[in-house]
Amino acid sequence: MTLDTHNGSQTWNPDEDRAIPLAEATEVRVEDKTVDTTPAPQLREEAPVATGEQIEPGRALALVDFSPPAVGAGERLIRFAYRLGVPGTMLTAPMGKKSKTRLLATVNNTVPGSRVAGTALRAGHFLVHGAKTPIAQVDFHGAARVSPPLEAVVHSFSWLTDLEACAPREQGVPVAERILTSWLQANPKPPAKPGKGPAWNVGHTGMRLMNWLVHAPLILSGEKALRLRTLRHINETARWLDRQVHHAEDGLAEVAGWCAVIAAGLLLPDGRPRRLYGEAGLIRALGELMGDDGGVLSRSPLAQMEAIALLVRLRNCYQATRRDPPEAIERVIEMLVPPLLALTHGDGSLGSWQGAWAINGDDVSALVAASGVRTRPLRDVRQWGYQRAVAQKTILLFDTAPPPMPSHARYGCASTLAFEMSHGGHRLIVNCGGAASGGGLVPVRLEQGLRATAAHSTLTIDDANSTAILINGMIGSGVSQVDIDRKTLQNENGSNATRLEASHNGYAARYGLTHRRILILRDDGTELRGEDLLLPSGRKGKRGKVGYALRFHLGHEVDVALTEDGQGAGLALPDGSYWQFRSGGGDVSIEDSLWVDGHGRPQATQQLVVQGLVSRGGGNFGWLLKKMG
């Protein structure tokens, strides 16, 4: 693919205010790098990526090559026997007395919780994404359908972390025992197979067992009868996970299951065989959860944070028993943090991608601090599929990959070629986000709409999604290939700009058009120049016209007003900065929009929309965002 080239030079005009096609504004040769979603074999050696070669996105990467901890022949035999079903007591003390069920250590949890949610628990409510649910009205058995976020909080016992964060232990114990007693009465024993109600999928069960073990003082400090009953249930749950962890609903759920198996092996008597078994399973599951750059294959910041929290809790369990965790676990934690930071804005909060909302910077920084990893954000998380460009106070995030595969997607979104932009601590252009928070203050019925292409700052054709959005978080056919190129442009006066170009084939099958987006961000952060092109996907374009819409969802703090000529809009930020949007592709209108904030709560906002009809033979639409003054 080649744009106009003269004498091999790369030039860029930063002073041109009119929104003109970027093919005219830049003179640069672009070389293709293609993201193909054809499933790759499970390779153990990553091939080098050179210009012009095909690379694969995070969802179809060669697996990260982590090896189980080195063990001797005897330990390998123990692990093999335990995997076959030989009880741990027979392997550790075949002729000895059976050990009494107890916990061998108290874990110091370093993963932060929510004081606000913990305070609500003490007042008698579960607080999930702004929605309060009285504890007395919760069906702990799971027969009555509740929203997925509340379901996850109740059955994973993640609320124990919030309870611990809000009050001294002696004040939290009565609340924890009250909820635990109700849950045990509704779930007296594990079922034969996973999926028998929301309490017994592998993900919730793994998280629950991990939280029981990590927060044991909150649930084992009361009367003896409840303590013994809880210990017995912990033991039964660990045995259930030993058998069922392979039937996890997705990669993150399997990692949660294996982490819980290892934690039980560390903290319960006769646990050495279980620990050896779990360590081998966890390392394999981690290799299948993430790509080589550390991004999880679901491409979700929420899943990235959950994976970090799981491994940090597991490391706390190792430390409680005075053991060093396997080197591979520490390495994975180090790999998971930089991609997460790549999706942060100037205030430290996260971008709204793949079902996530704009998670607060304090929550992100607290988790990173708990991980102990000191690092910088990755600029080019190519395999995970996000590009990050920083220019002074301006940060640009760009989605340059297909949505995740259905096997990884919990809340897959058709967001390919969407972008977000912030200046200082304020968001200028956003995506709606928050599909995973549906069931709190965000109505569940909006979940599919928040996953749609129109809920993201990108182009849509005929109001259709670039990738099909299905129920239950699943996605269908659509974008299967993305072309990516990134380079730095140099101006004659010595200033630079970052140029990002990407295209996808999500509309090729239905409309015979390929969407290509070019973004150029000046190095002083005062200008973002963009062009969206619709190009025939075959040799010959189709006849007729089709509707298109360019959407730019605005941050909830942005004040917007249209210009008199209808070709642009003025955007005022709370810090006093003023930005101008200009369109070269048609009249600009203002429509209502919605943005989900850092607590998972919906906020009313607005969006700029440029729409009209375009020839089935293709077209191009230039636009400009420029800081004035």
* pLDDT at residue number 44: 32
Mean pLDDT of 538-561: 90
* pLDDT at residue number 553: 98
Give me the helices (H) in 321-440, please.
327-341, 361-371
In this structure, of 14-18, 418-422, 511-515, the range with the lowest mean pLDDT score is 14-18
The mean pLDDT of the chain is 86
Mean pLDDT of 255-261: 97
Nearest to residue 179, comparing CAs of 129, 120, 131?
120
| Residues 148-166: tens digit of each pLDDT | 899 999 999 999 999 999 9
| Residues 352-405: tens digit of each pLDDT | 999 999 999 999 999 999 999 988 887 767 788 999 999 999 999 999 999 999
| Cβ-based neighbour number of residue 502 at 10 Å | 25
**All residues at 6 or more sequence positions from 72 whose CB lies less than 8 Å from its CB, including other chains:** none
If residue 277 lies in a helix (H) or strand (E), which one and from where to where? helix 272-289
Mean pLDDT of 607-617: 94
* pLDDT at residue number 94: 61
| Residues 294-341: tens digit of each pLDDT | 999 999 999 999 999 999 999 999 999 999 999 999 999 999 999 999
Mean pLDDT of 554-571: 95
- Give the CA distances from residue 534 to residues 2, 460, 516, 617, in Å, rounded to whole numbers and listed in that order: 16, 11, 6, 8
* pLDDT at residue number 311: 97
Give me the helices (H) in 93-249, please.
115-122, 148-156, 159-166, 169-186, 202-214, 216-219, 224-244
Domain map of the chain by residue range?
A: 101-256, 396-626
CATH code 1.10.520.10 for 396-626: no
Mean pLDDT of 64-90: 64
In this structure, of 70-74, 469-473, 573-577, the range with the lowest mean pLDDT score is 70-74
Query: pTM to 2 decimals?
Result: 0.86
* pLDDT at residue number 406: 87
* pLDDT at residue number 473: 82
| Residues 176-203: tens digit of each pLDDT | 999 999 999 999 999 988 877 789 999 9
